[in-house]
Each structure stands twice: as C-alpha cells, then as structure tokens.
Amino acid sequence: MADNGSFYYNIQGQAEGTSYNIIYQDNQDRDFQPEIEALLADFEKSLSVYDSNSIISRINRNEDVQIDDYFTTVFTRAKEISARTNNSFDISAEPLFRAWGFSSQEKYPPNNTQIEELKKYIGMDKVRIENNRIVKEHPNVVLNVNAIAKGYSADIIASFLNEHGCQHYLVEIGGEIHLKGENTQGEAWRIGIDRPAESNPIPGQDLQVILQITNKGIATSGNYRQFYIENGQKITHTINPATGYPAKHNLLSTTVIAEDALTADAFATAFMVVGLEKAHEWINQLPGLDAVFICDEDGEYKMYCTPALEDKIVQEYS
C-alpha cells in the first residue's frame, strides 16, 4: 500500500508475442487494464510482425499503406540510432535473421554467397519515409522492429499512466522496463538482472545483480537464451548487419539504462553486436546512457558497469 493510502494495482497479460507486467499506484483506485490492453492492441496493429495485417507486415509485402505515429516514431529513432552505432543497430537486417533461422522454423546456416546477396537489401540508407509512406530502394527490403518496439511500448504505457496522474509505476513488457517513483515499500524500484547462463531459461530465476533505480527506461539484450548448435558451433541470434554473421565475442548480456526504454532497447542490441570494448567506447560518448555488461572470462561471469551505476547496486551474486 502506498503511503497516501491508495493501493498499487498489478496487472498482467499478453502482448507483442510476449507477456507484460505492470504495477502502478493511483489515487483514484482506477483499473487501467482495459485501456492499456487497447493501447497495446493499437500498437500491434502498427508494428507487430506477428500480426499479418499490421502496418509493418503490409509494408514487408510491399503493399501501399500509410504509416501512423507509432511507426514514424520507431522508424525515425531507429534510423538515428543506426547512424550513432555505425549501423550495428539495423531494423532492415531481418533477411539475415530469417536466413540464420531466428525468424523462421528452418535452421540451415547460409553460405557466404547467400549472405552477400542478402546484404544488398540491408541498410537504413535503402529505406525512407516519404509522404507518410515507407519507400524502399528494392522490394526485397524487409523490416523488423522487435529490438526496439517492446521498449517503445513500455514508454507508451508509461506516458498513459503519467497522463492519468500516476506518480509511481513499473511497466515491464517482454523484459523491457520503464520506471517512475517508488515501489510498494516507498523505495526506488529494485530490478534484477539475470545471470547469463544457458541453464537459466526462466527470467528472474537466477540473478547476477540487483539494481535499485527509478525514473528510467531499462532494457537487456543477451545471447544465452536464443541460440542453436550447428556442427559443434554455437549460432547466436545476435547478427552483425555489417558482416551478415552472428557476432563473436565474450559479451553475454548487456543491460542499458536510459531516459526511455526505446533508447535502452535499441542500444542494448547494438552493444551486443559490437562487444564490450566498442560498447564501452560508445557509451562514454553518449550522454544519458549507463550500462551493466556481463562477460564470459575463462568460464567465469565478470560484470562491468558504468560509474553512475556503482551506487545503485544493492546485491551482487557470486
């Protein structure tokens, strides 16, 4: 119960091919779940590749469709972040994910000739907005915003709660989070970061560290749950758009803290593509971003965090 006497609501459900969990405190004791589910349904009609009639699905089929504000915001920010990360974040890299078996059922790794052919249709320079429509340089350009959309949807729900006067909330959609105010104990929210072990399939079951933090967007990207083994080689779902191949380095998990979850979501993905050294270099040049990096160093988990987060760690597990 909040200190002003009104209850915290906890609502849960399914959206965007994943689950959501939202805790909020409201002075007027209003149940916002119907409105929130309607917002998420509208969002999916724009940006969900799981909905065959969504705007993004129709664009991928080269239909003539007008984009909405959701699509415009995500596309514009995706283009900006792509430029800031030397194209390590690229929503047009979907053909590579399909080829490597991460957006399809078949898992037959492509050869170099196939990859070079696919790369002809990848790059944010090959797609643009013109007159409220997406214009592609080639019909084979395919978009997927899963690495930014869940974060943005958490921001949208946070904005809704702000507009309705909620001062304290935690919005979590598919692991991406937007926080404000205090938890039910009157403290900054506590956020657990999973240990990046292949034997840790359930989020929240085995933690590496707990942060106490608020008024931020938080997103985690990792290589330890989405992978398969082919001819003794581990094939991870972090594909480098520049090379067309899965990224290879010792960075297992990246959690980014930013002003909004959209930004955190996209940069967490980009940092997983380039690895720890380049991610460290970039984050020092990007004001407003902090991160926790967990690496595999000779079979041991080693955690690095930006200086601003050191006093936010409330528990670290060995």
How high is the pLDDT of residue 144?
Answer: 94
In this structure, of 2-6, 105-109, 159-163, 175-179, the range with the lowest mean pLDDT score is 2-6
Residue 1 has pLDDT above 50, yes or no: no
| Type of residue at 194 | D
pLDDT of the residue at 3: 46
Per-residue model confidence (pLDDT) at position 106 = 61
Q: What is the CATH number of domain 188-318?
A: 3.10.520.10
Q: Does pLDDT of 204 surpass 70?
A: no
Tell me, yes or no, if the two domains 50-144 and 188-318 fold the same way: no
For residues 33 and 231, which has the higher predicted lDDT (pLDDT)? 33
- Mean per-residue pLDDT, 145-165: 97
Asked if the model's pLDDT at residue 275 lies above 90, the reply is yes
**What is the per-residue pLDDT for 237?**
63
What pLDDT is recorded for position 112? Answer: 87
Contact 26, 164 (CB under 8 A): yes
Q: What's the mean per-residue pLDDT of the chain?
A: 90
Look at the alpha carbons of 303, 202, 288, 74 in this order and tell me if their dihedral is positive or negative: positive
pLDDT band at 2 (very low <50, low <70, confident <90, very high): very low
pLDDT at residue 60 in the model? 97
- In angstroms, the CA 278 to CA 85 distance is 10
Q: Span 151-161, mean pLDDT?
A: 98
More confident residue, 236 or 120: 120
Give pLDDT, residue 158: 98
Per-residue pLDDT tens over the stretch 167-183: 999 999 999 999 999 99
User: In which band, very low, low, confident or very high, does the pLDDT at 24 lie, cut at 50, 70 and 90?
Assistant: very high
Q: What pLDDT band is residue 102 in, cutting at 50, 70 and 90?
A: low
Instruction: Name which residue leads in pLDDT, 66 or 224.
Output: 66
Strand partners, 189: 213
The confidence band for 4, taking pLDDT boundaries of 50, 70 and 90, is very low
Residue 15 pLDDT: 86
Overall average pLDDT of the 124-128 stretch: 97
Sheet of 217-222, strand order: 8-15, 18-25, 168-173, 176-180, 217-222, 251-258, 290-297, 300-305
Task: Tell me the pTM.
Answer: 0.92
Q: What is the mean pLDDT of residues 55-70?
A: 98
Question: How does pLDDT run across 233-263, given as a tens digit for each residue?
Answer: 655 668 888 898 888 888 999 999 999 999 9
- Distance from C-alpha of 21 to C-alpha of 170, rounded to nearest angstrom: 8
pLDDT of amino acid 298? 87
Domains of the chain, by residue range, sit at 50-144, 188-318
The whole-number average pLDDT for the span 292-312 is: 92
Q: Name the H helices within 144-288.
A: 146-163, 261-274, 276-283
pLDDT digits (tens, 9 = 90+) for 82-92: 999 999 999 99
Quick one: fold of 50-144? T-fold (1.10.3980)
Looking at residue 249, what is its pLDDT?
85
Percent of the chain clearing pLDDT 70 (strictly above)? 89
Instruction: Identify the residue with better confidence: 296 or 139.
Output: 139
CB-based contact 237:97 (threshold 8 Å): yes
